[in-house]
Amino acid sequence: MAKSEREAAQKIIADNRKAFHDYHIVDTLEAGIALLGTEVKSIRDGGANLRDSFARVEDGEIWVYNVHISPYRNRGYSDHDPTRRRKLLLHRHEIRKLIGKTVERGMTLVPVRMYFKNGRVKVAISLAKGKKAHDKRETIKRREADRETRAAIKERRTRR
């Protein structure tokens, strides 16, 4: 499959940019998510938000919390709680791996991206370690330095 076909097959719904600011991302897995019909329709309308969301392991299952999916406009009588907990669909060996790493190393699970893949809603869940305040400042400094470097290179090219 060519890269353009893959990109067409994966339509990004929501990003959690705050996660990249607050955490060091170690590993990322793709997971399915159990949704109601009105939730899927609302997501297709662009009503999903991953900010402040997190995942937990409970009774050998992984649940995602605080993923806000706004109620579907044309819902009629059926309704859903916008921030209810939702089950992530992973293989048993993947869940065991995540349980071992979260308990052993003090890491957390953070949803990073929500997207459509072949018509199904998928969530990219990352194993992450929290950043300290000085790490966040260092990241900001590095980003600003990169931006200044790119601007200087671009300016130099335009002078020629």
Instruction: Compute the distance between CA of residue 159 and CA of residue 134 in angstroms, rounded to an integer.
Output: 38
Residues contacting 52, CB < 8 A, separation 6+:
18, 66
How much is the pLDDT for 91?
A: 92
| pLDDT digit string (tens) for the chain, length 160 residues | 555 555 556 788 888 888 887 888 888 889 999 888 888 888 888 888 888 888 888 888 899 998 888 888 777 676 777 888 899 999 999 888 888 888 777 788 899 999 988 888 899 998 888 777 777 788 888 888 889 998 888 888 887 6
Alpha-carbon distance of 102 to 86, in angstroms, equals 19
What is the pTM (predicted TM-score) of this model? 0.72
Distances (CA, A) of 128 to 39, 98, 133: 27, 11, 16
DSSP state of 33: E
Give the other-Cβ count within 10 Å of 43's Cβ.
Answer: 21
CA dist 38 and 45 (Å) reads 11
Q: Are 111 and 124 in contact (CB under 8 A)?
A: yes
Superfamily of domain 3-131: Small protein B (2.40.280.10)
pLDDT at 51: 86
CA distances (Å), 126 to each of 8, 72, 95, 107, 114, in order?
Answer: 23, 28, 12, 10, 12
